[in-house]
Structure 1
Amino acid sequence: MHFLLYFWLLTSISLCLAVTPSRTIAKRDPTSFVSSTSSGFSVNGSSLRYVGTNLYWLPTLESNDDIWNVLANISSLGIKVVRLWAFNDVETIPDTGTWFQLVQNGTTTINDGPNGLQKLDTVIQMAEQQGLYVILSLTNNWNPVPNTTTTGNSTQVLASTNIPRNTLSNDFGGMDLYVRQFGLQYHDDFYTHAGILTAFQNYTQQIVTRYADSPAVFSWELANDARCNSTQATSPTCTTQTVTQWHATMASFIATLDSNHIVSAGTSGYQCTDCQKLYPITPTVTSTPSPAPGKKRKVTPLTNAQIVRKRAESKRRSRAAAIRAGTLKEDGIRIRGRWVSTMARRQEISTGSSSTTDGSAGVDSQDILNIPNIGFGSFQVFPDQESYGTDDPNLDPVDNKINSSLLWIQQSAQSAAAVGKPVVLTGFGLVTQDNLQSFVPFNMTYAPYASMATDVVNTTTSFANSTQQETGYSSFLENNDTKSIAVANSAGLAGVMQYQWGSTGITQSSSTIQLDSSTSPSTDTGDTPNDGYSIANNTAIQQILMQGAQAMAANPL
């Protein structure tokens, strides 16, 4: 009996060593870790300005060879940073596949096995070997569950159930899973409930201390897209200060565990110029580039007046172009042969108010960025899911998305410049007509366009074709070159990250690609997960990312 026990332990240890590299990493010189400055990032005494990509699904790949090949392909393009989920929460232990933490009935259990955190160990070590840095996000704002309806004794799932677990970025657990399993009602209970805070800090401590000495870690991202609202209802008391205070609490907590790495916010960049601040800023004179070389520029906080002015300037330019081309359209409705703006349109334009700037989402990214323990800020660009301003009637739908995104980039850069910390575009993407049937919005569990006929989908002009996607991605990257637009230049985006990477020829089996138990196991190969933004086999976009990486590296801040 003792011999069998000894043999089982020896076999288990050997298996773990074979499955994943050791996570024991020697202490490093402090300069080997990424640090943030007032203008950007540095490592080993050199400036680091980068193009990156997102691969939330990377630790769920079954084959270590696949993980290695994905990272190698990314590194070969000159991409320096990848962003992924360092969480994978479940409410019940799945029969197969990767999971990191069980959250059930107010208790939590961490999976440190080969299908748990050892998978994350593998990713971190392979990233270091490939010369890549990793932004590790610790939880997600989004975790919707399929809607159901009960008829008699049968329950029918209304949302799609043939999307495999961990295919979607919102299917890794997160805030609402904690709320449900702690028996609470509101999404924002995640930020304020003592029991949830203790549980989340426990998980955070396990992750942070595990990789505190790893130079491959770029930063600890507190949460992806934190805000007051999600699938769960929002309480009447959630405000921007609720979300800001949670970031401050968590940033301070991590600072007690790890002095090597930056703590970052992962917000979508929502702003609130008129909200009361927990961390108010004072306008300062900075040494950022200005039209007069050698002189310092006074950077002031973003205001509604500035937002309105930039939008008006953009509309004037497109209107002048439309007049020259003979294609002028007016905004509003036609009355007696004249175009008149509607009251709602005039009010939105005059106030600069929208869901991204009025604080209604409960996010004030500038206030969060000014928290002392936050090293850099973030924002995102997803114009197929967000509106960054009023549409210009002289632009087609896709051009409106691109144009408003460029204004949003400039606006976000200026907001960060007033704080005097770096800001990173942590995710940008345009859904193409070819990808539309796979597109699942971040707060949904199914692809709303999947039932449309292919010929109808491909003529949906409100979504980009491949050429328009290439134009948009090039614009998002070029807009951040130090020789480009003055407002973005005044802050200088320190990093720009595409969402999301995609690869083909990935090992797949029933544990990751099919939830239907009636399907026989398979060892086929296929694509990595796709929620509508994957660039698998898209060599044109990969080439754009490579060129952007070269330009960013050649123009350090």
Structure 2
Amino acid sequence: MRSYIAPLVFAVLGAHAALTPTPTRRWGTDSSLFASTKDGQFIVNGSTFKFVGTNAYWLPYLNTDEDIDNVLGNMSAAGISVVRTWAFNDVTTIPEEGVWLQLISNGTAQINNGTNGLQRLDKLVELAANHGIYVLFSLTNNWNPIANETADPLTPSSTPLPRNFLSNDYGGMDAYVREFGVDKTHDEFYTNMTIRSFFEDFTQAVVSRFVNNPWVFSWELANDPRCNSSVPTADTCNTNVVTQWHADVSEFVKSIDPNHLVSSGDAGFSCATCSKIFPLQPPPQPSASVSSRRKRSPVPAMSKARQAKKVAEARKRSVNPVPADGVRIRGRWVANKEAKRQTAGNSAVGTANDGSTGVDSQDILNAPNIGFGSFQYFPDQNSYAGPGQPAQPTNFSDLVQQGIDWIQQNTANAQAVGKPLTLTALGLVTQDNFPFFIPFNGTTPPPSNITNTTDPTSSSLSVRDLLYTPVTAINGTNGVTQQQQSEAYQAWFNAALNAGVNGVMTYQWGAGNLTSAQGTVVQAPVSGTNTVSQGPAPNDGYGGVA
């Protein structure tokens, strides 16, 4: 299997050689290699650092160190400077094979520090450093879906695909909600202090391992955090709830690790009319020096007394949700109407900008301990339509322009705050990849008859089917051609770099000839055996194709 990313990266690097210097290839723990920020730019080794990166959420969980090393070597050869991956792998039962990082079951959580646990993250960073590649670790995921529309949303998903094959099959927020939640709603991850205490314990166990290692680029609090998810959310979830969680947890991370940057991982949704926790004026006050905070000791076992104490302490800093009535649109639970309509006529700006996702990326970015901004672009899964625009582009040129507009909007929002910005995930499904395409809130491919003009009231499609819309339908079929994908990526890379985005990361890297084994991220081809052979990396619709 080849990656489509390599030729694209070479083209972009060639066109922007002065803007995207390759990081100095040095090894060890030289403090100058820590990524920092100054005047809205990343600084590495005393110089401005702009990068082309990629996503490989499965990378730490491959079956051999040699496989990880080979994938990183190919990335380095293609000009990749930063790889984004999952630093979480939550399970409800301990698997017989493969890697797992945390067991969430029977009212408690157990962190795996073994060779098939957190030590896999150690090995990834070690090997990445050998290739001069930084690792951007995400600490949890917004998505952990049910299997079908009739399944209990509080039951973990099941799929015939290998464990950890899908990006949403690593646990995440809803794994905590299912086990520790009271109302079992997605927003409890942000507001329930028992859940907060378990998540902070896991976060500390991971973050504390790399405090003095410069090859961790940054800590991302979550992938695509928002009010709505696989599990329904409460009526009271809004942008303030999500922003406050970011402020609290980013402060927690910086108290453990003052050396690394912290980012949100949000998708870049905004809400100009929503109330702000961190308004642009006056400028936010700097947080207290982390050096003045009490040093945290290694995570002790979670006792009931300690848990009760943590909950009581954390509750003091919780935000009071704004009462409102919730809405459910086409099977998706979204933020409350109060968040969406804080100003009359707000709905005219479209769902990406009206607060209905519960995300105000600029307010999050302005939190004192959030070091840089993040945003994503997945036109097959989200609507980015503005006033007077169709829900989805109906031709290729409109699709490309929509992406450019989205990039420029997020760049302007970040520049107003004065912090760097990264496009942490950029994906567009091709016709060849559409049969493998599985949306982040699903476990199975969408029906072949789904298009961007599908009638949401149609009785021929189930509620779960409608969760998959909109899907890009250009050229009268699902997905774009390989050539169109390359042209779109080139245009979006150029737009991002010209607008001042500091890093662009494709989603996702493709790899082949990987060691496979039953019960792991790369399974043996013969079901029910322990045959070891070769197989490809996961492809949920965005990977490289042969």
The change in CA–CA distance for 1:504 and 1:257 in structure 2 (over 3 A counts) is same
Does 2:375 correspond to 1:375?
Answer: no
- Structure 1: gaps spanning 5 or more residues: 1-25, 151-156, 285-347, 483-487, 538-557
Residues 374, 424 of structure 2: 8 Å contact kept: yes
For the residue of structure 1 that corresponds to 2:432, the secondary structure is helix
Residues 266, 361 of structure 2: 8 Å contact kept: yes
Measure, in 1, the Cα distance between the counterparts of 2:282 and 2:92: 47
Identical pairs, percent = 48
For residues 318-329 of structure 1, what are the structure 2 equivalents within 5 Å? Answer: none
Counterpart of 1:385, as a letter, is Q
For residues 218-233 of structure 1, what are the structure 2 equivalents within 5 Å? Answer: 218-233=217-232
The residue number in structure 2 matching 1:93 is: 94
Give how far 1:516 is off: 11
Deviation digits for residues 469-508 of structure 1, max 9, x if unmatched? 01110011111233xxxxx2xxx10001000001011111
Residues 501, 534 of structure 1: 8 Å contact kept: yes
The residue number in structure 1 matching 2:313 is: none
The change in CA–CA distance for 1:525 and 1:97 in structure 2 (over 3 A counts) is same
- Structure 2: gaps spanning 5 or more residues: 1-26, 284-343, 451-472
Give how far 1:449 is off: 4.0
Measure, in 2, the Cα distance between the counterparts of 1:394 and 1:427: 19
The change in CA–CA distance for 1:246 and 1:515 in structure 2 (over 3 A counts) is farther
Counterpart of 1:480, as a letter, is A
Counterpart of 2:72, as a letter, is L
For residues 90-489 of structure 1, what are the structure 2 equivalents within 5 Å? Answer: 90-147=91-148, 161-184=159-182, 185-282=184-281, 352-389=348-385, 391=389, 396-449=394-447, 461-482=477-498, 488=499
Give how far 1:28 is off: 4.3
The residue number in structure 1 matching 2:505 is: 497
The residue number in structure 2 matching 1:520 is: 529
Name the count of aligned residue pairs.
431
The change in CA–CA distance for 1:106 and 1:401 in structure 2 (over 3 A counts) is farther
Larger Rg belongs to: 1
Measure, in 2, the Cα distance between the counterparts of 1:205 and 1:428: 29
Deviation digits for residues 352-399 of structure 1, max 9, x if unmatched? 521110001100000000001110010000001111115469974343
The residue number in structure 2 matching 1:324 is: none
The change in CA–CA distance for 1:73 and 1:233 in structure 2 (over 3 A counts) is same
**What TM-score do the two structures reach when normalised by structure 1?**
0.73
Measure, in 2, the Cα distance between the counterparts of 1:160 and 1:231: 13
Measure, in 2, the Cα distance between the counterparts of 1:268 and 1:124: 25
Measure, in 2, the Cα distance between the counterparts of 1:124 and 1:159: 30
The residue number in structure 2 matching 1:315 is: none
For the residue of structure 1 that corresponds to 2:519, the secondary structure is helix
Counterpart of 1:399, as a letter, is S
Deviation digits for residues 73-119 of structure 1, max 9, x if unmatched? 00111110000000000111112111100011321101111211111
Which one of the candidate residues 482, 488, 509 is aligned to 2:517? Answer: 509
Give how far 1:461 is off: 2.6
Residues 524, 534 of structure 2: 8 Å contact kept: no
The change in CA–CA distance for 1:194 and 1:48 in structure 2 (over 3 A counts) is same
For residues 27-106 of structure 1, what are the structure 2 equivalents within 5 Å? Answer: 28-106=29-107
Residues 380, 428 of structure 2: 8 Å contact kept: yes
Measure, in 1, the Cα distance between the counterparts of 2:350 and 2:103: 38
Structure holding more helix per residue:
1
Give how far 1:38 is off: 2.5
Residues 162, 514 of structure 1: 8 Å contact kept: no
Residues 191, 197 of structure 1: 8 Å contact kept: yes
Give how far 1:434 is off: 0.1
Residues 40, 494 of structure 1: 8 Å contact kept: yes
**What TM-score do the two structures reach when normalised by structure 2?**
0.74
Give how far 1:450 is off: 7.0
Counterpart of 2:222, as a letter, is A
Measure, in 1, the Cα distance between the counterparts of 2:268 and 2:150: 36
For the residue of structure 2 that corresponds to 1:109, the secondary structure is strand
User: Cα RMSD (Å) of the superposition?
Assistant: 2.7
For the residue of structure 1 that corresponds to 2:352, the secondary structure is coil
